[in-house]
Structure 1
Amino acid sequence: MINSRNVSKQKKYTYGEIRDYSTSLSEALLKILRLEAEDVVAVISRNIPEFSIVYLGVMKANLIATTVSSSYTSVLLKLNQSIPDKAIDFHEFVRTKHDYPDIIPCSPNAVAFLTYSSGTTGLPKGVELTHKNLVVNMLQCFNCDGEYQTESSESYQEILPIHHIFGKSLINGVHIIGGKMICLKSFSQELFISVLKESNFGNILLRKKIFKTSTKSLSKVLSIQGYGLTETSPAVSQLYPSKMIEEEFHKGSIGKPLPNTLTKVVDPEDVKDTPLGPNCTGELLIKGPQIMKGYHKLPKETKKIISEDGWLRSGDLGHINEKGFLFITDRMKELIKVKGNQVAPSELEDIIRSFPGIADAAVTGVSHERASEVLRAYIVPEKNLDMEKFQQFFNGEVAKYKHLKGGIEILKSIPKNAAGNILRRELKTMYLQKNR
């Protein structure tokens, strides 16, 4: 374990320093820790500049990087455990020359990043993204008709968690244009506005042509609509500010597909996956060089989501209008989104059922103005349930964003279909009726 508690005392890094430090780290991982190609290195980090050094260093060593949310730390350390005494200091690794032979780059098709997604359904699965996937997706994003992606900017605000696939995508984007990234350890509107002022970023945007012909607000201009999945490295489509203002017919759209990306909407019940016509709702399928290699050690699950001819099932419902703009209208999958984090309800249901005295359980997401959704549990107890003890148990088993902030409701039974699958839509309807 590398102890990084004392990092970020140096508040900024140049690209030269990131290059040198990530090279030193890659050599240390191979020489001192004796890691070998395709070994997996887990990175647990808040939004700090040193993440780039570690992320690039791991991949340069031909190792596989995987990230874990820093909110898991208390769970991983069992709440009261400190960093082990034998942990290695981060700066010892990155600021020391290790006299290691030049590392020969691996195949572009080798796995570079292993991140976890629940896919269209079920428990989290390891998504294998190759070096080619990641590089191609960066080039796709920076070679479409957007207006901010082709030139270096004086600053680039990172407002997604770094461990998130879109957070890493933004980091890659900053690197490729040589931009300046400001990492916020946590997000608040006040902090974000103060950073905009200090970095002079607002003045940069005001000098853009878009403000000379439009009176739209700054928040409108800061918005870049897009769509993607962990399985697509992650970007599939983008819609930039000028397009949002100049063309009204795509209001609510997630944009057009990126270069070399094919999309089609099909009837989920159609085994032939025949494309539907314009404005017809169905499941969105995607094909392109950014599609993942597959799910780690799960060939059957991979076959379920990627067809023999390379089409990936998104699990999302939507349509394509007559102009070619994409729209997402609903989700087929049971996945719940909490502040950008994917939560598999089955994972939480297993934890709830493991508590003594609980016969059955179901978890759904309920709308929340700040978190998009929060989690709500429905519990069938075998006997009187000590709610305080249960919540203490549950909160000790999961990350904070997985806490049941949507409430807990006691039921006599969980609604299920003939196959035994939970009818979550029925639970959501019941909740809405009670909270009108």
Structure 2
Amino acid sequence: MTDRPWLAVYPQGVPADIDATQYPSLVALMDEAFRKHADRVAYSFMGRDVSYAETDTLSSALAAYLQSLGLAKGDRVAIMMPNVPQYPVAVAAVLRAGLVVVNVNPLYTPRELEHQLKDSGAKAIVLIENFANTLQQCLAHTSVKHVVLCAMGDQLGLLKGALVNYVVRKLKKMVPAYHLPAAVRFNDAVAQGARGTLKKPGITPEDIALLQYTGGTTGVSKGAVLLHRNVIANVLQSEAWNDPVMKKLPAGEQPTNVCALPLYHIFAFTVNMMLSLRTGGKTILIPNPRDLPAVLKELSKHRFHSFPAVNTLFNALANHPDFGTVDWSNLKVSLGGGAAVQGAVAQLWLQKTGCPICEGYGLSETSPSVCCNPVTATEFSGTIGVPIPSTWMKLIDDNGKPVTQPNQPGEIAIKGPQLMAGYWQRPDETAKAMTEDGYFKSGDIGVTDERGFFKIVDRKKDMVLVSGFNVYPNEVEGVVANCPGVLECAVVGVPDEKTGEAVKLVIVKKSPDLTEAQVREFCRHELTGYKQPKVIEFRAELPKTPVGKILRRELRDKH
């Protein structure tokens, strides 16, 4: 193995390697948590606390229900919800039944949802009723046979639950009309399952735990196959990395984390939910991080120690007039990931909370964390830090040869126990992504210094990163090309103060009557919010190579 110069900067007590074999599966990890921490609060949501014991009971019943439908080990079950208590219950149920979780972004359009359900071959879906209308539009074209439908207030008790559901459905009108006659309500599914028994399947470290969908340079979303051992490794790596500050908690105080990132995103899935189960922590579920007054109002009721977020959220909160209503003094670690953290944001956050943002780096393909700044750092480094325990990283050139000079750019390549088994049913894409010696090619261009700190300087892929979400130009271009009146188009990322980057769409018109408003309306129907163009520009022609390939870089440079 390559020498690891970065071990010299590890904080005291952080091991060079972790033992990912200590659990045979994520189910074993969860069972241990339910047993050891039965009386503790697992999740806090809208003023209601859900205990570990309750999560255990509910997920066991839902797992028995899923098995009663005839779902067999290895079958895929999609989960499409914001951060509500039913999400962790559904994840635990799917895994305990020996099935595979398919995380779905609830804001997907019918077209995007259909692709993911068809590609994964999901046979069942657990979703919140707010997005039932989206499912209704594509259900017939998928292999989904069973639908479990949740409502926002399901787990809030009779009175409060009914009130919350009334507000969501009638006052805020957040549930468009839908028709899914065969759907079973979440609480009914749990009640049915409770009357049956869960048959415990034999699950090995090599079994698939989840399919985490990620775009590709081809614009087609691919499922990263994450095995039980991949996610276990990343949970233990993250725990070891955070330990130097988390062990400073007063004796007997329950570690508490803020989950404002969506649980369907691998960052929150592993670093909020799974890590919290491992440490017996409490997770504060934030269903809508865009509602800043509600986020701050919720946080003002809690003592919390860990806050994983993206640059845009740190920035929005720190600049909000209600920021001071929250007690930030117990915060031990602010983890920045998903997109580059801006220096100005990091400075403001440190000034206002006294807790520096610790920037890390990861991908869906790596469960996700591979690299992070030491949590003991007292200032923002502007780098993505060093590889975490049991992780190897190197820079390679276009021929796959190692780049050895400090500050010389190369593509970041990664190896470690958190690395996926490959892309779901795409051996060709898997082969393209790997080096001969088993490293994963990230598509990100980085530099490294003598101490082993990595910094990202560019992206090999033309991907646009909007608030931590990947937008692939090819996908957006493919959609816009179908808009009446468009001759050709190109998509690039442009800097944006709020979201880090935004989507810029350049169009050559086929019909002179085409307006910006028409294009925006078309995009609204076909693309989820973060993929929609913020800037639309019309041009007489697009810059191209002699072969006819569109020069995206030129479009970026002219912005």
Say yes or no: TM over 0.5. Answer: yes
Distance 1:304 1:54 in 2: 34
Contact 1:125/1:296 (8 A) holds in 2: yes
User: Which of 453, 456, 459 is matched with 1:328 structurally?
Assistant: 456
2:85 is the alignment partner of 1:18: no
TM-aligned CA deviation for residue 312 of structure 1? 0.4
Residue matched to 2:182: 86
Distance 1:101 1:422 in 2: 55
Q: Which amino acid in the other structure matches residue 355 of structure 2?
A: V
User: Which of 361, 381, 405 is matched with 2:509 structurally?
Assistant: 381
Judged with a 3 Å threshold, the aligned counterparts in structure 2 of structure 1 residues 427 and 204 are, in CA distance, closer, same or farther, namely: closer
Instruction: Give the aligned CA root-mean-square deviation in angstroms.
Output: 2.6
Residue matched to 1:258: 388
Structure 2's unaligned 5+ residue stretches are 1-44, 109-130, 138-174, 305-325, 334-348
Q: Helix, strand or coil for the counterpart of 2:557? A: helix
Contact 1:121/1:334 (8 A) holds in 2: no
Residue matched to 2:521: 392
TM-aligned CA deviation for residue 217 of structure 1? 2.9
User: Which of 238, 251, 257 is matched with 1:141 structurally?
Assistant: 238
Contact 1:75/1:397 (8 A) holds in 2: no
Structure 2 counterparts to residues 338-417 of structure 1, below 5 A: 338-387=466-515, 388-405=517-534, 407-417=535-545
Residue matched to 1:221: 355
Contact 1:223/1:240 (8 A) holds in 2: no
Q: Which amino acid in the other structure matches residue 243 of structure 1?
A: A
Judged with a 3 Å threshold, the aligned counterparts in structure 2 of structure 1 residues 10 and 91 are, in CA distance, closer, same or farther, namely: farther
Residue matched to 2:222: 125
Residue matched to 2:283: 181
Distance 1:297 1:328 in 2: 30
Structure 2 counterparts to residues 236-251 of structure 1, below 5 A: 236-245=370-379, 251=381
TM-aligned CA deviation for residue 77 of structure 1? 4.5
Aligned length: 412
Q: Helix, strand or coil for the counterpart of 2:209? A: strand
Q: Helix, strand or coil for the counterpart of 2:504? A: strand
Contact 1:108/1:132 (8 A) holds in 2: yes
TM-aligned CA deviation for residue 125 of structure 1? 1.0
Residue matched to 2:212: 115
Q: Which amino acid in the other structure matches residue 220 of structure 2?
A: L
TM-score relative to the length of structure 2: 0.69
2:335 is the alignment partner of 1:299: no
Give % identity: 31
TM-aligned CA deviation for residue 149 of structure 1? 4.6
Q: Which amino acid in the other structure matches residue 425 of structure 1?
A: R
Q: Which amino acid in the other structure matches residue 183 of structure 2?
A: A
User: Which of 412, 418, 427 is matched with 2:555 structurally?
Assistant: 427
Distance 1:119 1:207 in 2: 36
Contact 1:75/1:399 (8 A) holds in 2: no
Judged with a 3 Å threshold, the aligned counterparts in structure 2 of structure 1 residues 419 and 335 are, in CA distance, closer, same or farther, namely: same
Distance 1:53 1:70 in 2: 17
Q: Which amino acid in the other structure matches residue 402 of structure 1?
A: K
Residue matched to 1:235: 369
Q: Which amino acid in the other structure matches residue 366 of structure 2?
A: T
TM-score relative to the length of structure 1: 0.87
Residue matched to 1:43: 79
Contact 1:339/1:372 (8 A) holds in 2: yes
Q: Which stretch shifts more, 407-416 or 297-306? A: 407-416
Q: 1:70-111: CA deviations, max 9, x gaps?
A: 212365455965151331110122244243353123221111
Distance 1:401 1:216 in 2: 28
Judged with a 3 Å threshold, the aligned counterparts in structure 2 of structure 1 residues 190 and 104 are, in CA distance, closer, same or farther, namely: same
User: Which of 68, 86, 89 is matched with 2:104 structurally?
Assistant: 68
Residue matched to 1:160: 261
Q: Which amino acid in the other structure matches residue 173 of structure 1?
A: L
2:301 is the alignment partner of 1:198: yes
Q: Helix, strand or coil for the counterpart of 1:317? A: strand
